[in-house]
Chain A
Amino acid sequence: MWRFIGFRVLQSIPVLLVVITVTFFLVRIAPGGPFSSEKAVIPEVKAALEAQYRLNLPMFEQYTAYLGDLAQGDLGPSFKYPGRSVNELIAAGFPVTAELGLYALLVAISIGAVAGVIASLRPNTAQDYIPMSVAMIGICVPSLLMGPILILVFGIYLEWLPVSGWGDMPGDKILPAITLGSTYAAYIARLSRAGMLEVMSQDYIRTARAKGLPEWRVVVGHALRGGLIPVVAFLGPAFAGLLSGSFVVETIFQIPGLGRFYVQAAFNRDYTMILGATVFLATLIVVFNLLSDILAAWMNPRLRSQYGER
């Protein structure tokens, strides 16, 4: 198992390096310098600014210097908010996004897995069709539509819940979390249903029944572990999806999170901010992919013993 983890961690390093490199050069070759939009600047000021952002150096030296800063956890200064570093901006936005993502993930896993398992127990009956139809709605109504509709219904017509903000009013976290989580709840429901159906048709489930175990013990004791492995393996990609989904949800609900900063930075062409945030988000996604892979592998004894332990 440790060998597996070590192998996967090593494998992530080139991925991160590729992300950093590609992002860095993409941003650098982007048309229009950082200050070209502004009025003519006095040459001395411009030179000073370029020195501050290291734009006076050759491209490759800029790159190695950036890598050096990164190694120390420094993402550099922001173009658009002079005097503020990218680190500060991320530190301001990320906790909000993380909280939103966490709630959304909880919504997705709790609703999704329960609905999927329930549906799998009686396939092709109402107990299956109803949750799976709801899941289909979750997949086909994307968050960019789900958000406005929820606002319209619960915020404007029924006036039950606030329609924007984060932590300003009680209950204003509910709609964003549901909006962001619904798609993934739907995917998880479908995954866990498929996984459970697959496992429930296995011979060892028949063995468990032949032992006289009651059905709930067959399901909980014998089927869940294998049936939910696909769900665990999906958590990594789901997390990546949640992060990019937060761009839309934070825009709809006007939440001051990292996603909204990112989109704003994209419009403002705040290149250092884009670069820094991309590197930060990419690292997070790579780490989560790693974690969900390791967890899924650890749940499978065959894989666990295949990589050492012997």
Chain B
Amino acid sequence: MRWTCAARRTDPVLKVENLSVSFVTRMGTNKAVDDISFTVETGRITAVIGESGSGKSVACYSLLGLIPQPPGRIDGGRALFHGQDLLQMTAAELRRIRGRDIAMVFQDPMTCLNPYMTIGQQLVEPLLYHKKVSRAQARDRALELLDEVGIRDPASTIDNYPHQFSGGMRQRVMIAMALINEPELLIADEPTTALDVTIQAQILKLLATLQAKRNIGILFISHDLAVVADIADQIVVMQQGRIVETGNRDAIFRHASHPYTQKLLQAIPRGGKPVALPTSLPLVTVRNLCTSFQSGNTVVKAVDDVSFEVLRGEVLGLVGESGSGKSTIGRSLLRLVHASSGQIDFDGIDVTALQRRELKNLRRRMQFIFQDPFASLNPRMTVYDTLAEPLLLHGIETRSTVGAHVLRLMDDVGLARTFVRKYPHEFSGGQRQRIAIGRALATRPDFVVADEPVSALDVTIQAQILELMRELGREYGLTMLFISHDLSVVRQLADRIVVLYKGKIVEQAATEDLFQRPQQAYTQQLLRSIPGSTLLAADPSGTDTTLS
């Protein structure tokens, strides 16, 4: 599944040499990009990989003068585009190149299109501004391109506003807009990160097709090595403003020499949970669960007649794309949302029928781990207060004894004891998620619902948190419902997997069975959409992954 053509003559469309960028603030100077060099060749894709704060976006934005100066400052280096140094150009010269010779596609298609203008108005803008064409000609060209990027019935949708399109469709519009002047270089900044996995696969394929057809160079920025595994020719790995390794795709994936690159590669979730538990009795039984929401005048069925069991001691993976109802199911189990109908049985207790006091006792035994560690901790409470709250509430400790217990919890989740008086905003995302896990495990629950617990984290941190959850799950003897949009993450933890689509269960099976022998078309499509699956399957260091 490699879409680029490797046999073309190559010459650099962009050559960056010794670029350095820093941000000057009152607090001091911060070197965001430190002496980096790379090239993008005609008809090839160069991927710049790095986690948040690695400087990858700053580097690419500074090429086109798109970082605000001040506080940004370009300290030195050259960026040769057809022999002309972009960094030496005046603002007006750069403007003539932007949108005409070099175009950009951004991360979040929801916010990158102007909500007050129709997509047609926005599409023709670069054409009208850079080329001498009439409005009618520009519109015709826009219609052609919309068709080419796969927008159905462009003639009737061109005058719609962005909010009338789905995320994937908006990203297609963004791509059409970038290509409308037939640029020679496309800078794509995480163009698929905000999208569902099946949509991501479609957009990646579209980009590769359009690129091959036009023979343009692409600079592809991503945090995820797996995403670029299928399409990149050249890979540049950045860490803390520096390039730690550059190489062609095969070299990076097979013989990565730098420890950071190796760490990134190891962080790509692959392989399954080592040992499967013997089957046992169900701890949680869900029967015919339905949950609907009132949205304006219409009733939306978020969960539609779902039945499944979570067996004692197992990790059940709940997989689905946005809108599949997976989070709603998780919240229904803890009565955070009210089920419209159906039964939820927890260890012989009917959860849907509980009164307040019984519910409190139940919640001691069932806990929730949330997706966003930035939102799931009260910003005005210290770690101590956050962890002590459940212990005191359920009478597990008294005020005089709770301190030692809090510190033990911090040890368990791998947080230094000296942080106990600190507030959430003083921690990184990974550390915050550790606090949240500590809070959930404080009452020693039997059952934990983890709702996308790692999807807001950088990939290397993701691997650490998954490892922590695996360990603690064993240590605490937990039963877990693990909710995620990402099959490869679920595979690492789950014993069995339930696949959801639009509120209904599509398929449920033991993890490896599901990966080896998916029965339903939707499951097969999901598996195909896992980024980098082809390359990683062939990777000798990988596990026994074989995908058709």
Contact = CB atoms under 8 A, between A and B. Distances in A.
Q: Do chains A and B touch in the complex (CB under 8 A)?
A: yes
Interface of A: 202-204, 206-214, 217, 221-222, 225-226, 299-302, 305
Contact of B106 (A203, A222, A299): A203
Given A206-B106, A212-B129, A301 B163 contact: yes
B64 A210 contact: yes
Nearest to B108: A203
A222 B162 CA distance: 14
Given A203-B108, A302-B163, A305-B164, A210 B103 contact: yes
B117 interface: yes
Given A210-B98, A212-B98, A302-B163, A204 B115 contact: yes
A228 to B, nearest CB: 10
B116 A299 contact: yes
A-B CB proximity, top 4 nearest: A212-B99, A212-B98, A211-B99, A203-B111
Contact of B96 (A207, A208, A212, A217): A212
B125 A211 contact: yes
B80 interface: no
A222 B117 contact: yes
B485 interface: no
A300 B117 CA distance: 10
Contacts of A212: 94-100, 126, 129-130
B114 interface: yes
Given A203-B108, A212-B96, A302 B114 contact: no
Contacts of B302: none
Interface in B173-212: 174, 177
B113 interface: yes
Would you call the interface of chain A mostly helix, strand, loop, or mixed?
Answer: helix
B104 interface: yes
B125 to A, nearest CB: 6
Contact of A210 (B99, B114, B161, B164): B99
Interface string B118-146: 00000001100110000000000000000
B112 interface: yes
B66 interface: yes
Nearest to A222: B114
A207 B114 contact: yes
18 contacts: A203-B106, A203-B111, A203-B112, A204-B111, A207-B106, A207-B114, A208-B114, A209-B98, A210-B98, A211-B126, A212-B99, A212-B100, A212-B130, A221-B125, A225-B116, A226-B116, A305-B163, A305-B164
A299 B114 CA distance: 13
Contacts of A203: 106, 108, 111-112
A204 B98 contact: no
B112 A217 contact: no
Contacts of B113: 204, 207
B263 to A, nearest CB: 31
Contacts of A221: 125
Nearest to A301: B161
Contact of B116 (A207, A213, A300, A305): A300
Contacts of A209: 66, 98
A213 B99 contact: yes
A207 B98 CA distance: 10
